[in-house]
Structures are given as C-alpha cells and as structure tokens.
C-alpha cells in the first residue's frame, strides 16, 4: 500500500515531503477551505510541493459537461501531466462524466464512495482510482474496513484495472486494517501520518543508542 497526504496545508506538506515516502496528495473543497486559501493561490503551491507525484483535485461542478470543462481547465492552466487526477463524486452526473474525462486523456479518481456497488460502477465507468470513505462509514455504524476489503476483492475478481485509494481516516488502526485488506493506497491526514510512523519506544531506543555510542564511534565520516 502506498501513502498519500490528505491535506492542502503547505507547511504540513513541506514537512511530510521532507521525510515521508509519499506518493502524492489528495484535496477536496473541505481540505481547500481548511487551508484557508483560494484555489488559484493554492494550486501553484501544491504543484510545487508535489512535483511529479500524484495530485488529486476534486471537481466542484455538478453537471457532467461542466466537470469535463473544469478538469480540462485545470490541466491546461497549470500544464498538468499524467500525475493529475480529476476527483469526481459518484453522483449520477459524476458517473456520466468519468468516461468523458477519460476520453479527454485525464485520469479519474471516483470519490465519496460509501458502498461496494458504487465502487464497481465507478470502475466500470473507467475510474483509475476509487476512494471509499472509511471513517465516515464507521461513524454511521457501518464497516469501512469491510467495504474496502470487498471493493478490493471485487476489482480483483473481475480483473479490472481500477485501484483502491482508501480515504477518510481518524485512527492509525483504520489505516493498518485497509492495508491488510489489500488497498493499493491510503490518503491520510497530517496528524495520523505522523502518528503511524512513530513510536515512543523508537525514540527511547535511539536515545539509548546515542548514550552507548558516546566516545566509541571514532571513525571520521
Ligand atoms: C479524500 O480525498 C477524502 O475526501 C477525505 O479523505 C475525506 O476525509 P474526512 O472524512 O476526514 O473528511
């Protein structure tokens, strides 16, 4: 499973890209609102930080034809390449837009997925990635992890090229469990990414190593 950062906060992204083996970033209107900047301001900053890694940008249009125009407009305005993914919610218009956007040579990420069948329909509509919302499912007494597992199985069963980008996490354990289900990717916020890569025992062990090495490591480097 690969990791993406589910944030548009430039300071968080700079910190993460400094050390974390990220494969890209995902955004949606809520994430852009949290970053507190207009899209025209934040897009160049995101492009600079993400470089050739994946950049998933959510379309806000509600009609299929407008989603296509929007996806094309971002691509043209910022000269985006193959690392750009137009995120399309799985509405009636969204499903209609997916093959149109693919036809225009733009990658598609189907988003706001809550059921196995929504994911399968999006895969059939040509989505490159499908993004099931794990924590939002768990929050309504459903089973996000199980939904992700079923989607992974179905995609394999029917030999589809679509991949699973699990989204919406509130705990490290949810991220771990989707990896055990075979999700190809997880998009995770800053706080959970920092938590999942660290452990107090690691810090303590490094402290002990440093104490033990004192005065003994005398080879220049
Ligand atoms: C991904 O791109 C989703 O939009 C995002 O993970 C949703 O997360 P949330 O449920 O924490 O808002």
- 34-81, pLDDT tens digit by residue? 999 999 999 999 999 999 999 999 999 999 999 999 999 999 999 999
Annotated catalytic residue 87: yes
pLDDT of residue 21: 98
pTM equals: 0.96
Query: What pLDDT does residue 191 have?
Result: 98
User: Which pLDDT belongs to residue 36?
Assistant: 95
Low-confidence ranges of the chain (pLDDT < 50): none
195 Cβ contact list (under 8 Å, min separation 6): 172
Q: How far is the CA of 26 from the centre of ligand 1 (A)?
A: 9
Q: Is the CB of 109 under 6 A from ligand 1?
A: no
Residue 131 Cα, ligand 1 centroid: separation in angstroms?
A: 9
CA of 216 to the centre of ligand 1 (A): 49
**Residue from 87, 163, 170, 211 carrying the catalytic annotation:** 87
Task: Determine whether the shortest distance from the Cβ of 136 to ligand 1 is under 6 A.
Answer: yes
ipTM of the complex: 0.96
The atom number, within ligand 1, closest to the CA of 169 reads: 11
Q: What is the pLDDT of residue 47?
A: 98
Residue 75: half-sphere exposure toward Cβ, Cα within 13 Å: 21
With CA atoms as reference, report the closest residue to 31 among 13, 17, 54.
13
Residue 87 DSSP code: E
Instruction: Assess whether the C-beta atom of 174 lies below 6 angstroms from ligand 1.
Output: no
């Amino acid at each position: 499973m690969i990791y993406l950062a589910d944030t548009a906060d430039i300071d968080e992204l700079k910190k993460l890209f400094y050390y974390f083996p990220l494969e890209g970033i995902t955004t949606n209107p809520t994430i852009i609102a949290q970053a507190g900047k207009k899209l025209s301001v934040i897009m160049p900053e995101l492009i600079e930080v993400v470089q050739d890694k994946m950049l998933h940008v959510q379309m806000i249009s509600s009609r299929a034809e407008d989603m296509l125009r929007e996806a094309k407009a971002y691509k043209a305005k910022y000269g985006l390449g193959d690392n750009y993914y137009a995120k399309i919610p799985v509405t009636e218009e969204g499903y209609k837009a997916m093959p149109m956007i693919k036809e225009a040579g733009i990658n598609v990420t189907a988003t706001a997925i809550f059921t196995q069948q929504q994911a399968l329909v999006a895969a059939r509509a040509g989505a490159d990635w499908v993004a099931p919302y794990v924590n939002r499912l768990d929050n309504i007494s459903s089973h996000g992890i199980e939904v992700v597992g079923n989607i992974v199985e179905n995609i394999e069963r029917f030999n589809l090229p679509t991949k699973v980008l699990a989204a919406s996490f509130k705990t490290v354990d949810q991220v771990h469990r989707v990896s055990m289900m075979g999700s190809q990717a997880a998009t995770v916020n800053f706080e959970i990414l920092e938590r999942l890569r660290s452990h107090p025992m690691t810090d303590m062990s490094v402290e002990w190593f440093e104490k033990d090495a004192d005065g003994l490591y005398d080879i220049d480097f």
